[in-house]
Structure 1
Amino acid sequence: MAANQRIVFIGDSITQAGRFEDSEQIGYGYVRYIKDYFAINQPEELPFIVNKGINGNRIPDLEKRWEVDVLSLQPDLVSISIGINDVWRQLDRLELEQVTPAIFKGIYDRLLAQVKMHTEASIFLMEPTIIEESIEAKGNILLKDYVAVIHELAEKYGATIVPTHQVFTEYLQKENHQVLTTDGVHMNTAGNMLMAQTWLKTYKKCKVGK
C-alpha cells in the first residue's frame, strides 16, 4: 500500500458514529476500528482516513455534498455506505418523499460517474447492513432491491463490493449469535467489529494500493 494513501468513508449515522464528538473526527464506529487496525499493523504506511458520515443521510443527501466531501478531497479510495435510511424512512417516515430503488440507482449512478471522471480513486461499495436483527423483517426484505442495485453499479463502474449485508444476514443465522445493534440499525461494538472485519477482508483481498 502506498504511504499516506487517502481513504474517504462517506455514509449515514453508521459511518458518522460520533465523529463530531471525536477530536480526530474519526468517530467510534467501524471507521475507527479500521483506522486502529492500520495503526497497529502497518504504522509505517498509515493511510490518511477521513470520515464523512452524516446522521440521517439518504442517497439524495450524499449528492448534495458530493463535490465538497468526496471529489474535492481527491481520495485514493472512496468507501460508500448508504441505503439504510433510504429504506428505513419507508417504514418510519411515510410522509417523506421516498427514495425508490429506481431513484436510488439513478442518483448513485451519477455519483459514481463523477468519481470516475474527476478522481483516480478505487471505489468500495458497502452493502447496507440490516434493519432489525431478523432476516425476515420487512426492512431486510425491502433492502434486497437496493443491494441488487449496488451490485449492478459495482459491475458497471469496476467497483468493489464490501458484502456487509450478506455477512450480517449469514451471521444472524448462526447458533448463539450475538446482538449486533443497539436498536436494529445502529451498531454496537460487535456490529462495528463485523463491519470493520468485512471491510478489511475485502481490502486485503483486493490489495488496494499495491
Structure 2
Amino acid sequence: MTITLRPGSTVMFTGDSITDCRRRESEDGLGSGYPLRIAGEWAHRHPDRPVTWLNTANAGDKVTDLQARWRTDVLDARPDVLSVLVGANDMGRHTLDPKGHVIPAERFEADYDRLLAPLVEAGTELILIEPFLLPIHGVVEAGAAVLIGEKEREQWRADLDPKIQAVRRLARRYGARLLAADGRFAELAASSAPEHWSADGVHPTPAGHAALAAAWLRLVA
C-alpha cells in the first residue's frame, strides 16, 4: 500500500550524511541528494499537488544522535510523512560507544523504536529506508580515502545485516513503508560496477541518489 501525498502535506527527510548532502549550503535546504531529486520529480509530475519538503539530516549521525535532537528537529515540526535513513554510522568500527563497546543490533533497534513510537501515536506516516553497503574496496572517512580489506568488509557486513533486519521489523511493527535499499543496490551492483552507484560503498553517486529517489517515489501516490 502506498502513502498518499495530499496538497499541503509536509514531508521530512532525516538521518545522516547520505540524506544531509550539505543541506545547510543549499538555497532550499534539501541538499544535493535524493531528497532534492524526489521533491523535483514530484513537482514535475504533480504541479497541482504542492508539498512542503524538509530535510533535517546531519552528517555523521547515529541513532543515538537522532534521539538527542528528535524533539526539536522532528516532533515539533509535526510532519505528515517522515522518511528516515540511518545506520551507516552504526556499522563496523563506528559502532563503538564512548566506553569502547560495540553497539549491538538489539540496542540499535530499541533506540530506533523509541524514535518512531511518538510519531505513530501522532498519526505520522513513516518511510524507513534500509541502511546499505555496496561491495567497494575503498571507503571515504573525514574526506580521506581509506582502503579496507575483504575481511574488514565482511565484518562490516556481518554487523550491518542484523541492523537491516531490525529496520525491517520496525517497519512491520509500525505499518511503515520499507524502502529495501540494500537489496536494491545489490541488484544494481550485480549488473554494473558497484562504483557506479557509490564511490565508497556508503555514499551514493548521482546515479545512486537517482536510484534511491525512484524507489522512494514508488512508495507514494
- TM superposition score normalised by structure 2: 0.84
Aligned partner of 1:76 among 80, 105, 108: 80
Aligned partner of 1:170 among 187, 199, 219: 187
Aligned partner of 2:13 among 9, 17, 20: 9
Residue 41 of structure 1 deviates from its aligned partner by: 1.0
Q: How far, CA to CA, are the matches of 2:95 and 2:186 in structure 1?
A: 20
1:186 matches 2:186: no
1:153-164 correspondence to structure 2 within 5 Å: 153-164=170-181
Any idea what the Cα deviations from partners look like across 1:58-97, whole Å, max 9, x if unmatched?
0000111111111111111000000111004448999855
Q: How far, CA to CA, are the matches of 1:132 and 1:61 in structure 2?
A: 27
Q: In structure 1, what is the equivalent of residue 136 of structure 2?
A: 133
Aligned partner of 1:124 among 109, 115, 127: 127
Q: How far, CA to CA, are the matches of 1:93 and 1:183 in structure 2?
A: 23
- TM superposition score normalised by structure 1: 0.88
Name the % identity: 29
SS of corresponding position for 2:56:
strand
The answer to whether the 8 A contact 1:39-1:46 is kept is yes
Q: Which runs of 5+ in 1 are unaligned?
A: none
Any idea what the Cα deviations from partners look like across 1:156-186, whole Å, max 9, x if unmatched?
1111111111101111111566611232221
Which residue identity lines up with residue 68 of structure 2 in the other structure? Answer: K
Q: In structure 1, what is the equivalent of residue 165 of structure 2?
A: 148
Q: In structure 1, what is the equivalent of residue 144 of structure 2?
A: none
Report runs of 4+ in structure 1 exceeding 6 Å deviation: 91-95
Residue 144 of structure 1 deviates from its aligned partner by: 1.0
Q: Which runs of 5+ in 2 are unaligned?
A: 138-149
Q: In structure 2, what is the equivalent of residue 115 of structure 1?
A: 119
The answer to whether the 8 A contact 1:125-1:150 is kept is yes
Compute the RMSD of aligned alpha carbons: 2.2
Aligned residues: 202
SS of corresponding position for 1:44:
coil
1:196 matches 2:201: no
Which residue identity lines up with residue 108 of structure 2 in the other structure? Answer: F
